[in-house]
Structure 1
């Protein structure tokens, strides 16, 4: 079964004054979603630090995919998950050729009811990591270090 994903990106401005002068802000949308995102380059690349950038979106996509895969695995295994929070981080080393995000670390804290088998939760995390479409699509290393807490 094939799934296609289509987005639309729009930018307007001028590069006529050179690299330092043009606006990096642009809009991305993906029908049928009603929301569009205003993005920019990372501030370290002359972008607007008040806007999300593509590198952050890639880290967020990996984090979101892991969450969704994990919830599906946990639900299928009958494991009750009550909360999931992830402070994800991506690392880019510009000395690498070609430059790219070379590591994404996901650090979810997973809330479960008292008495839940933490080992079963962690096994579901591993299964979900193997099934995450985004992580499977990247050359970048994606690691998941989960913590299980009773809530």
Structure 2
């Protein structure tokens, strides 16, 4: 999403477009739509979750919320690690959001982030675990949600290179 800074506030924009007809009822209209986040030049294809009659080959809003939480944690973590002078070599996440059908109003009740972090040889892993929690506390997206966001991080030290 593009960010503009105006008088002490950051503003983010997103555009959305859908075309069709709901005249034939809930089961008949298309859920496919297009989204964009200017000034990024590429848009993306969206739909509803397949459970709600959407197209499984397109991203849905619930997935995007989980992705936003995951991406924010990554960026917050890289910031605090770099600021602390620590060397992160690789970061992957297998994030998951849960939306129980028996909770009303229907909503994601928990997002679990499972980052796997690879750090440079000689790194103090305990420092990285502390930074994972610091990053979570400063993540803009997690702080914006009422949904519980849990971070279950694994930190590994890169294998030593064999001397030739």
Range class of TM-score, shorter chain = over 0.9
Q: Any unmatched runs of 5+ in structure 2?
A: 1-7, 159-164
Q: Any unmatched runs of 5+ in structure 1?
A: none
Encode CA deviations 1:10-52: one digit per residue, 9 max, x unaligned: 0000011110010000111111001111100011110000100
Q: Counterpart in 2 of 1:95? A: 102
CA shift for structure 1 position 98 = 0.6
2:119 corresponds to which of 95, 102, 112:
112
Question: What TM-score comes out, normalization by structure 1 length?
Answer: 0.98
- Alignment partners' CA distance in 1, 2:109 and 2:155: 27
- Alignment partners' CA distance in 2, 1:129 and 1:82: 19
Q: Counterpart in 2 of 1:43? A: 50
- Alignment partners' CA distance in 2, 1:41 and 1:31: 22
SS of 2:45's partner is strand
- Alignment partners' CA distance in 2, 1:30 and 1:61: 13
1:32 corresponds to which of 27, 32, 39:
39
CA shift for structure 1 position 94 = 1.9
- Alignment partners' CA distance in 2, 1:124 and 1:72: 10
Aligned length: 151
